[in-house]
């Protein structure tokens, strides 16, 4: 869970019924998921659905002699005690049932802004923030707003692996105090389902993904598929995975056909259970992409290409389908030019952090047993590639994970 949040109080809820008119404080309004405020002219499926300003910033502006009413800067919400500009893009703001995600800090002032003409400045470009509605509901004057501080979300780990037998529980017990907020423990092997779900039941911040790795395709029968379905029905199952194709060790055509069959069977289960998929693909770029396209055409519930290792061109295909790319320790390697290009190209809002631990530890721990505790190195590298802060990388990727895995409640 995120650390204790800062909070403030909503002092104004403002809307404008027509574009070009000043927003007015209406006291209470209904917020619609991925749209904005009901009845507001600026609502729509875009990234600036709801704008916010700190009451403290407005009061400081008034102290300079400005006579401004609530809504005069174009803000929808005026809130006390929160310095919105200090929070990174991706930060979640919670007010009763409503969840807002920060998408932009500041904006250009409208040419001819009356406030700017009179005062020579306007605080909205400097202090205002914009959000998308992740979850709808009602917001009223007097409601408390809290800031859900972001923590690292490891979307792909294997703490059920034998490599953690000696210190598994001590390792997991240390996660939250070290900034790791959530972990998905991903089942890869037939026979490991129970090991994964023992951890899921023990730790509130650990979730499960259930599926069979392509290396174990020859072990999958009707009984195994029914077992996957059963685990999919468990409350903390968030995905079907890891599933896919791996031709690195499996060279024969018959092996490829078997893997493709099992891959399709598990994609069917993901659709049936309305869960996202987590795909493993190694030396099988074309076949994996073709099967994913086949299923996405008829509708799926999102997914991630785990440990993405292909070209920018292949990445574009997946991104255009609205899927996510899992990026882990490999991006820190000196010889990872191709993945660095992908990390630069891919929108941050389609990237997920992952370890694949105990494998592929990032530099400077390359070659050691990996764990979620090493993810700050991955965050740092992605931040450097994109020229943004580590805080923004953490906030946006955590929000991405919560959305694709259906954990925005």
Q: Are 83 and 53 in contact (CB under 8 A)?
A: no
The string of pLDDT tens digits covering residues 56-81 is 999 998 888 877 889 988 899 999 99
Residues 6+ apart with CB under 8 A from 114: none
CA 397 → CA 117, 161, 182, 331, 379, distances in Å? 40, 25, 12, 15, 10
What local confidence, expressed as pLDDT, does residue 67 receive?
79
Closest CA to 3 of 176, 135, 166: 176
What count of other Cβ atoms lies within 10 Å of the Cβ of residue 68? Answer: 17
What local confidence, expressed as pLDDT, does residue 62 receive?
87
- Percent over 90 (pLDDT), the chain: 87
What local confidence, expressed as pLDDT, does residue 1 receive?
40
Res. 120 pLDDT band, cuts 50 70 90: low
Q: CA–CA separation, 200 vs 203, rounded Å?
A: 6
Which is more confident, 281 or 21? Answer: 281
The string of pLDDT tens digits covering residues 260-277 is 999 999 999 999 999 999
Q: Is the pLDDT of residue 123 over 90?
A: no
Arithmetic mean of pLDDT, 140-162: 97
Q: Is the pLDDT of residue 19 over 70?
A: yes
Residue 145: φ, ψ to 5°: -115, 130
Domains present along the chain, CATH in parentheses = 7-148 (2.40.33.20), 152-404 (3.20.20.140)
**Residue 97 C-alpha from the chain's centroid:** 19
Res. 110 pLDDT band, cuts 50 70 90: low
Res. 32 pLDDT band, cuts 50 70 90: very high
What local confidence, expressed as pLDDT, does residue 68 receive?
85
CA dihedral 380, 385, 391, 397 (to 10 degrees): -100
Arithmetic mean of pLDDT, 239-259: 96
Q: CA–CA separation, 247 vs 256, rounded Å?
A: 7
- How buried is 20 (Cβ within 10 angstroms: 0-12 exposed, 13-18 middle, 19+ buried)? exposed
Q: Is the pLDDT of residue 114 over 70?
A: no
The string of pLDDT tens digits covering residues 376-398 is 999 999 999 999 999 999 999 99
Note if the pTM is more than 0.85.
yes
Which is more confident, 343 or 112? Answer: 343
Q: CA–CA separation, 35 vs 33, rounded Å?
A: 5
The string of pLDDT tens digits covering residues 183-228 is 999 998 898 899 999 999 999 999 999 999 999 999 999 999 999 9
What local confidence, expressed as pLDDT, does residue 3 receive?
47
Q: Is the pLDDT of residue 310 over 60?
A: yes
């Amino acid at each position: 869970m995120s650390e204790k949040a800062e909070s403030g109080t909503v002092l104004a809820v403002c809307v404008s019924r027509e574009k070009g008119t000043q927003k007015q404080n209406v006291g209470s309004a209904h917020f619609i998921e991925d749209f904005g405020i009901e009845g507001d002219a600026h609502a729509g499926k875009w990234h600036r659905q709801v704008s916010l300003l700190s009451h403290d910033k407005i009061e400081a502006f008034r102290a300079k002699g400005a006579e401004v009413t609530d809504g005069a800067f174009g803000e929808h919400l005026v809130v006390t005690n929160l310095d919105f500009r200090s929070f990174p893009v991706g930060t979640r703001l919670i007010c009763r049932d409503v969840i807002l995600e920060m998408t932009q800090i500041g904006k250009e002032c409208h040419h001819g802004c009356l406030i700017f003409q009179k005062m020579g400045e306007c605080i909205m470009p400097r202090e205002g923030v914009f959000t998308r509605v992740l979850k709808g509901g009602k917001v009223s004057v007097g409601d408390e707003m809290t800031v859900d501080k972001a923590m690292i979300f490891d979307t792909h780990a294997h703490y059920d692996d034998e490599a953690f037998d000696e210190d598994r529980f001590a390792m997991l017990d240390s996660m939250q105090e070290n900034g790791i907020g959530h972990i998905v423990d991903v089942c890869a092997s037939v026979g490991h389902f129970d090991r994964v779900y023992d951890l899921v039941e023990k730790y509130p911040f650990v979730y499960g993904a259930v599926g069979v790795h392509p290396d174990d395709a020859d072990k999958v029968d009707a009984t195994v598929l029914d077992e996957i379905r059963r685990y999919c029905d468990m409350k903390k199952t968030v995905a079907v995975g890891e599933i896919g194709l791996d031709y690195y060790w499996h060279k024969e055509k018959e092996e490829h056909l078997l893997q493709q069959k099992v891959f399709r069977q598990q994609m069917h289960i993901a659709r049936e259970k309305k869960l996202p998929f987590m795909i493993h693909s190694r030396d099988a770029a074309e076949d994996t992409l073709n099967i994913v396209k086949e299923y996405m055409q008829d509708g799926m519930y999102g997914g991630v290409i785990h440990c993405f290792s292909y070209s920018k061109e292949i990445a574009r295909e997946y991104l255009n389908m609205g899927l996510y790319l899992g990026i882990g320790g490999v991006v820190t390697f000196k010889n990872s030019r191709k993945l660095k290009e992908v990390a630069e190209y891919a929108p941050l809002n389609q990237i997920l952090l992952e370890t694949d631990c105990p494998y592929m530890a990032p530099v400077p721990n390359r070659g050691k047993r990996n764990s979620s505790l090493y993810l700050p190195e991955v965050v740092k590298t992605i931040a450097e590639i994109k020229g943004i802060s580590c805080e923004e990388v953490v906030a946006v990727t955590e929000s991405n994970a919560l959305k694709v895995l259906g954990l925005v409640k």
